[in-house]
Chain A
Amino acid sequence: MNLLLAGFLILLLSSFVPLFSGRENRVAALSVVIGTILCLIFSSNICLDSLITGGSYEISFRMMIPFANFAIGIDPLSAFFLMPLLLLSALCAVYGMSYMEGKDEGGTSWFFFGMLVLGMSIVVVARNGMLFLIAWEIMTLASFFLVTQDHQKKETRKAGWIYLVASHIGVAFIFAVFAILGRNVDRLDFEMFQVLKSGTTASTAVFIFALIGFGSKAGFIPLHIWLPEAHPAAPSHVSSLMSGIMIKVGIYGLLRTLTFLGMPPLWWGVTLIVIGSSSGILGVLFALAQHDIKRLLAYHSVENIGIIALGIGMGLVGISCGEPVVAVLGFAGGLLHVVNHCIFKGLLFLGAGAVIHETGTGEMDHLGGLMKKMPRTGICFMTGSAAISGLPPFNGFVSEFLIFLSALGGVTSMIIPLSFCSIVVIISLGLIGGLATACFSKAFGTIFLGEPRSEHAAHAKDPDARMTMPMLILAILCLAIGISGGSILLFLGTAVSEVSGLSMTACAIGLRTAAYPLMAIAMLSTLLMVLGLFLFTARRAMPRAHIESKVPTWDCGYAKPEPRMQYTSSSFAQPLTQIFSFFLRTRTKNPDTSETFPRGNSFSTETPDFWQEYIFRPMVAFFAKLSAGIARSDTGRIHIYILYIIITVLILLMWNFFK
């Protein structure tokens, strides 16, 4: 525990160095990188110990703030989030060293980066409601300043505002959660919260508020609107961190709150499944319609949060229906997907960042053919794409497989609500997986295959090792978790037991059911890979392998093909977006082909966020109108203000007498 504290302290100090390093970007970056890495090393021991043995440790200092205590602790749930958090932070920091080189705002940016990592870490280890909220706020504000780093651009400022407003609406609900939980205690220490009985108004309110408050951070639909705005605006290593782990801190908050609540009623799980399937399906659909690589990835975050919610929902329904195996597999799938998404989404954002860094644009239709120019980035991005699509032998498959297993167990349980939920989960997961594969075929194909579509893409090259190494490590992790088979489950048991309230043995039994199929799949995949590798080397060994021939892609018989004749990202996705056009409401500007010899035409599509356009915008407009009405009474004249005071005093006096 002391080591962990020391790690946090080092991180705190190292975050302050950039403020004093002036324009020495290199010093600032190095300080934060070293701080994050040291923090990772110092905390890994206790985290692994807690994950394997299930032990929990706590340390507490008095604070002079009301309700607060500097109480932090490590238990399997905290450790399960803290490890990937610090790992991804360290990798993103290393990546950022190169990415941020030559930018003016280096110093402050690194300060906020350090504070963001520190804030998130304290959120997941906090054992006091007030400390939790303080750290949460640090996390939110630090990320806000990182998002608005390019504040000269108008869109960035807009994205920053949307993010800030969405976050603070969420925080208001989290305040309510802790206020209800701690209404009978004088210090908001977690250990003092009594477990609320299920079915009472208090526990229902806590669940709903937690769902809204933490859901707005996690990005549940329709609270996700800040994601597609903020992620593209932030620098890539920051969006990688935000999408990879910050939104998971929302999931952590939800899970932590669930441990304060007793036996979950059935409708909680059902609610999460509904949220999960809608977030998952709609998230991936909107991703499919995007042209900007980072916006696309942001919508995929919504999708993956949906998958996590599906897992947790299966877990809750499993507990309510008294099916421990279903519950354990559901929770395990959800939790593992947290880590997996952290790895592959981190990887994808870093990959996208490398592309943007080298080509200067994230617009997919301006890219193309980067596989030949940026082979390392390309291979890493491909690994990430396969992992996010849930294809074996990568890690995304394992967690989705666990949720599938849970749902299959639910279907065969013959408990009607459970079976019904399970069927919904299976259908949704299947649809999500398929659409995700389509979406990443589009993204990867448009960016990395074919011919360069513009000057941007023509002169790209692989970035330096500080950027490629983190991607490579993450790609290897994707594969490692994928082919580890059941061994990854060893780390899951304790965390699942912490969340579900089931005993360790029950969790171990539940996980064992998944171990055998996973092992078989892992072996099969390994065999296939070895075979593939063998064939590849055999081909390389053959004499004709080294003759390179450059031929254009099959060109449908065009006499003179050029890059503009390739499939664009929108044309690739068009058949699918056409089917779901009811939800997507893509605005299309069709070319005018009425003339005999049309010329100078253009075609463009744009898919604005459904909820932002049709729900939040009208809502905000309504409130703006209301406020404008109120503002009219604000004349700026002191007489009128005093008149208001007099009228208020008079009304209060009269009211008192008439009562």
Chain B
Amino acid sequence: MNIADSIMILLLLTNLGLLASSRLNACIKTVAIQGLIVGLLPLVATKGPLTIYSFLLALLIITVKGIVFPYLLKYTLRSVDVRREIEPFIGYGASIIIGIVALICSFWLSMHIPFPDKILSATAPAVAFFTIFCGLFLIVSRVKALTQVMGYIVFENGIYIFGSALFIEQSFLVELGIILDVFVVVFIMGIMMFHISRAFDHIDTDKLGEK
């Protein structure tokens, strides 16, 4: 088992952890850990000696996903004063089961997609799919706007894993673009949530439609 495979397994576990935890604080921590691990991928993916590009990219991703996002999320969490996701649409037990089904689906999918030989790890596509599904699932099943933002971040992580696993070196430029987008999204969401909670006393997105 090489280092790439173990990274993949770690990512998988963080995803399951996200599905299972109700504490927003713990969720933010898990997302931070996932961001750190994802940040390591460019280093692992580079064959041969480390280039300055991959090093810089790793540094950037670790900074943004491992430090800036968690900080922003924590800051928002404090300002809106919520602790836990109390009534999700789908309970935590059910979430785990759905997660496992999604995992099976992801492996099934990745077996059926023809990949180029030069692939980071055999499990990478499956984990990428799983991360994407988890991100989307968080967006769909959770009520708090904060969790949804985390869903978007996880979703983006999945796309990035996919990209770095398949197109080992060329994906960097694309990734830079995506990370910028997500950064803006998180930033705006942070501000929005602050205002939503000020205006409505809560950040439950399902209640925003009510008049």
Closest to A657 in B: B112
Scan residues 120-145 of chain B and give those whose CB is less than 8 A from a CB of chain A. 133, 136, 139-141
On whether the beta carbons of A639 and B136 are closer than 8 Å, the reply is no
Chain A residues closer than 8 Å to B112, beta-carbon distance? 657
CB distance from A267 to the nearest CB of B (A): 54
Say yes or no for A547: interface residue by CB 8 A criterion.
no
- Residue among B109, B113, B205 making CB contact with A638, cutoff 8 Å: B205
Known: A637-B205, A637-B209. A642 touches B140 (CB 8 A): yes
Q: Please, what's the 1-or-0 string for A648-659, where 1 marks a CB less than 8 Å from any CB in chain B?
A: 000001000100
Known: A653-B109, A657-B112. A639 touches B140 (CB 8 A): yes
Say yes or no for B115: interface residue by CB 8 A criterion.
no
On whether the beta carbons of A639 and B89 are closer than 8 Å, the reply is yes
On whether the beta carbons of A646 and B140 are closer than 8 Å, the reply is yes
Say yes or no for B87: interface residue by CB 8 A criterion.
no
Say yes or no for A636: interface residue by CB 8 A criterion.
yes
CB distance from A530 to the nearest CB of B (A): 79
Scan residues 623-659 of chain A and give those whose CB is less than 8 A from a CB of chain B. 635-640, 642-643, 646, 653, 657
Chain B residues closer than 8 Å to A643, beta-carbon distance? 140
On whether the beta carbons of A639 and B109 are closer than 8 Å, the reply is no
Cα–Cα, bound, A640→B113 (Å): 28
Kindly count the residue-residue contacts between A and B in the assembled complex, taking CB atoms under 8 Å apart.
Answer: 25
Known: A653-B109, A657-B112. A639 touches B139 (CB 8 A): yes
On whether the beta carbons of B206 and A642 are closer than 8 Å, the reply is no
Chain B residues closer than 8 Å to A642, beta-carbon distance? 136, 139-140
CB distance from B57 to the nearest CB of A (A): 28
Cα–Cα, bound, A636→B140 (Å): 13
Closest to B207 in A: A637
CB distance from B149 to the nearest CB of A (A): 12
Chain B residues closer than 8 Å to A637, beta-carbon distance? 205-206, 209
Cα–Cα, bound, A643→B98 (Å): 14
Cα–Cα, bound, A639→B113 (Å): 29
- Residue among A638, A640, A646, A657 making CB contact with B136, cutoff 8 Å: A646
On whether the beta carbons of B209 and A639 are closer than 8 Å, the reply is no
Cα–Cα, bound, A643→B148 (Å): 13
Cα–Cα, bound, A640→B143 (Å): 11
Cα–Cα, bound, A636→B109 (Å): 31
Cα–Cα, bound, A387→B112 (Å): 78
Closest to A643 in B: B140
Cα–Cα, bound, A657→B111 (Å): 10
Scan residues 37-75 of chain B and give those whose CB is less than 8 A from a CB of chain A. none
Scan residues 154-178 of chain B and give those whose CB is less than 8 A from a CB of chain A. none
Closest to B108 in A: A657
Chain B residues closer than 8 Å to A653, beta-carbon distance? 109
Chain A residues closer than 8 Å to B141, beta-carbon distance? 639
Chain B residues closer than 8 Å to A635, beta-carbon distance? 209
Cα–Cα, bound, A637→B209 (Å): 7
Scan residues 321-375 of chain A and give those whose CB is less than 8 A from a CB of chain B. none
Cα–Cα, bound, A643→B140 (Å): 6
Chain B residues closer than 8 Å to A640, beta-carbon distance? 140
Closest to B105 in A: A650
Closest to A640 in B: B140
Chain A residues closer than 8 Å to B139, beta-carbon distance? 639, 642
Cα–Cα, bound, A637→B113 (Å): 33
Closest to B111 in A: A657
Closest to B112 in A: A657
Closest to A637 in B: B206
Chain B residues closer than 8 Å to A639, beta-carbon distance? 89, 139-141, 205-206
CB distance from B168 to the nearest CB of A (A): 24
CB distance from B181 to the nearest CB of A (A): 17
Cα–Cα, bound, A657→B112 (Å): 7
Chain A residues closer than 8 Å to B136, beta-carbon distance? 642, 646
Q: Please, what's the 1-or-0 string for A128-144, where 1 marks a CB less than 8 Å from any CB in chain B?
A: 00000000000000000
CB distance from A643 to the nearest CB of B (A): 5
Chain A residues closer than 8 Å to B205, beta-carbon distance? 637-639
Chain A residues closer than 8 Å to B89, beta-carbon distance? 639
Cα–Cα, bound, A635→B207 (Å): 11
Chain A residues closer than 8 Å to B113, beta-carbon distance? 657
Chain B residues closer than 8 Å to A657, beta-carbon distance? 109, 112-113
CB distance from B43 to the nearest CB of A (A): 31
CB distance from B79 to the nearest CB of A (A): 22
Closest to B137 in A: A646
Cα–Cα, bound, A639→B136 (Å): 9
Cα–Cα, bound, A19→B206 (Å): 47
Cα–Cα, bound, A318→B200 (Å): 76
CB distance from B76 to the nearest CB of A (A): 18
CB distance from A112 to the nearest CB of B (A): 38
Cα–Cα, bound, A646→B140 (Å): 9
CB distance from B65 to the nearest CB of A (A): 22
Cα–Cα, bound, A635→B210 (Å): 11
Cα–Cα, bound, A642→B109 (Å): 21
Closest to A646 in B: B136
CB distance from A633 to the nearest CB of B (A): 14
Cα–Cα, bound, A533→B158 (Å): 97
CB distance from A287 to the nearest CB of B (A): 49
CB distance from A126 to the nearest CB of B (A): 46
Cα–Cα, bound, A638→B148 (Å): 10
Cα–Cα, bound, A637→B142 (Å): 12
Chain A residues closer than 8 Å to B140, beta-carbon distance? 639-640, 642-643, 646
Cα–Cα, bound, A28→B28 (Å): 67
Cα–Cα, bound, A640→B139 (Å): 10
CB distance from A612 to the nearest CB of B (A): 36
CB distance from B21 to the nearest CB of A (A): 19
CB distance from B150 to the nearest CB of A (A): 14
CB distance from B129 to the nearest CB of A (A): 9
Cα–Cα, bound, A638→B149 (Å): 13
CB distance from B159 to the nearest CB of A (A): 13
Cα–Cα, bound, A360→B192 (Å): 58
Cα–Cα, bound, A470→B106 (Å): 79
CB distance from A2 to the nearest CB of B (A): 55
CB distance from A305 to the nearest CB of B (A): 49
Besides the known contacts A637-B206, A642-B140, 7 further A-B residue pairs in the complex with CB atoms under 8 A apart: A636-B209, A638-B148, A639-B89, A639-B139, A639-B206, A640-B140, A642-B139
10 example contacts (A-B, Cβ-Cβ < 8 A) are as follows: A637-B205, A639-B139, A642-B136, A642-B140, A643-B140, A646-B136, A646-B140, A653-B109, A657-B112, A657-B113
Query: Could you tell me which A residues sit within 8 Å of B by CB distance?
Result: 635-640, 642-643, 646, 653, 657
Query: Could you tell me which B residues sit within 8 Å of A by CB distance?
Result: 89, 109, 112-113, 133, 136, 139-141, 148, 205-206, 209
Nearest 10 A-B pairs (CB), nearest first?
Answer: A636-B209, A643-B140, A657-B112, A639-B140, A646-B136, A642-B139, A642-B140, A637-B206, A638-B205, A637-B209
